[in-house]
Structure 1
């Protein structure tokens, strides 16, 4: 995405946060920071692995 992504509070596990589109062939995506192991990359999708509570 070209702008910040907003995640709704109290989402369900395995929620797609954002779909990542690339124009370059053979791109490898990886997470450089993953607080609390809350996110996962599945193909071109960034997934919230658990419900997020911001309080």
Structure 2
């Protein structure tokens, strides 16, 4: 009986780690556009926006 419980516990731990990794990958992919926009230098052709960027 103890081996069954131990197997269930380790299965839950492994499942939790897999869920954590997949969640991280999904969030990383979902925020790719945001990260690209943040890392891009701010520039504009509009005089009003140019003055506010300085």
Q: Same fold (TM over 0.5)?
A: no
TM-score by length of 2: 0.18
- Comparing both chains, which one has the higher relative contact order based on Cα–Cα distances under 8 Å and sequence gaps of 6 or more? 1
Structure of higher CA gyration radius: 2
* Richer in strand (by share): 1
TM-score by length of 1: 0.18
